[in-house]
Amino acid sequence: MSIALLTRLPAAEAARWRGLLEEALGEAIPAKPDPATVDIALVANPPAGSFEALPNLKFIQSLWAGVDSLLADASRPRNVPLARLIDPAMADTMAEAVAAYVLDLHRQGPLYRQQQAKRVWKQHLQPRPAERRIGILGMGAMGQRSAEVLRALGFTVSGWSRTGATVEGVTMQAGDDGLEALLTDTDILVNLLPLTKETRGLLDRLLFGQLPRGASVINFARGGHLVAADLLAALDDGHLDHAVLDVFETEPLPADDPLWRHAKVTLLPHVAASTDPRTAAAFVAANVRAWRAGEPVKGLVAAERGY
């Protein structure tokens, strides 16, 4: 049996992945395997219909943390287990990105950059980190590490998850009531949820209305969480102060999208926490070995839950 690497990554990037995965696995990943022999697929944004050609597939390992597009792929065999990527180095990178943009908002970066553009010398009161309430939606691998780093910086952190399981030093919430409680107590909202049927469109007019006036929003999860028109309305009417967006329903974001030129939007090209094959390969290899040995694999996705 053999392993297939299914990806639409540029050729050089795919070749780098292949080399690092082969090294971690200690075996070759054929560039053009006989489809009938493929029992394991390692996938990053696979070409449409990739799975249809693999009749003996037994295990799918995602090279990305988010598996929303894989779950939506009609060609994915429903009876084949799918594991997402859990790479502590990726969670560190996400926490670094969250800290960078929370600190920028906390230190009033957007306001001072606007003042600089107009050569305005004006000082504003600077709250302490403990006076700034950060609400994190999604307290999994990415959310928990981000909360840890934000707490170390002195911020007051709340989190929202499906189960509301305890996270040290974080006020945890769950359910609709818990979400409302978190939102009313949040100055900077950070979205790190998986995109599922429950979470699609969650960042909408209703949710923004539950945040205090002057709050800001960071979306580092998926574009499908955000109702962009509702965000633009909340920024324009002054209810929200600023938004930092890394992910979009259509990527690359079309050149004529109003988000590009909005003064209250900081826009990033899906770079909050890109997978680093140097660290991810070790997780992938360990999961492949576990699956082959009949041992539990990590990050197994529950399709009905959506993550």
**Residue 132 annotated to the active site:** no
| C-alpha Rg value of the chain to the nearest Å | 21
Q: Out of 41, 98, 139, 235, which residue is the one contacting ligand NAP (CB under 6 A)?
A: 139
60 CB-near residues (< 8 Å, 6+ apart)? 40, 41, 43, 51, 70, 76, 80, 81, 82, 83
* Alpha-carbon gap, residue 77 to 168, rounded angstroms: 39
Do 125 and 181 touch, CB atoms closer than 8 A?
Answer: no
List 151, 262, 270, 292, catalytic entry: 270
Establish whether 222 is a catalytic residue: yes
161 binds ligand NAP per the rule CB under 6 A: yes
| Alpha-carbon distance values, 243 to 132, 217, 249 (Å) | 16, 5, 16
Using rule CB under 6 A, residue 66 touches ligand GLV: yes
Q: Does 65 bind ligand GLV (CB under 6 A)?
A: yes
As given in the structure block, the two tokens for residue 95 are 């926490």
- Taking CB under 6 A as the binding criterion, the range among 20-28, 139-147, 148-156, 276-284 that sits at the site for ligand NAP is 139-147
Interface with ligand GLV includes 112 (CB under 6 A)? no
Counting contacts by CB under 6 A, is residue 194 touching ligand GLV?
no
Of 222, 239, 242, 278, which one is the catalytic site residue?
A: 222
Cα 51 vs. chain centroid, distance in angstroms?
24
For residue 244, give the amino acid letter.
V
Interface positions, 95-114, toward ligand NAP (CB under 6 A): none
Alpha helices in the chain (DSSP H): 11-25, 68-72, 88-106, 109-117, 141-152, 175-184, 205-210, 228-236, 277-292
Among 110, 138, 223, 224, binds ligand NAP (CB under 6 A): 138
Q: Which of residues 192-251 bind ligand NAP (CB under 6 A)?
A: 192-196, 198-199, 220-222, 246-247
Among residue numbers 140 through 159, which ones bind ligand NAP (CB under 6 A)? 140-143
* By the rule CB under 6 A, 277 interacts with ligand GLV: no
Please compute, for residue 219, the number of CA atoms within 13 A of its CA located in the half-sphere on the CB side: 28
Task: Kindly determine how many residues on this chain lie close enough to bind ligand NAP according to the rule CB under 6 A.
Answer: 31
Instruction: Determine, following the binding rule CB under 6 A, whether residue 217 of this chain makes contact with ligand GLV.
Output: no
- Residues in touch with ligand GLV (CB under 6 A): 64-66, 275
- Residues in touch with ligand NAP (CB under 6 A): 65-66, 94, 138-143, 160-163, 165, 192-196, 198-199, 220-222, 246-247, 270, 272-274, 307
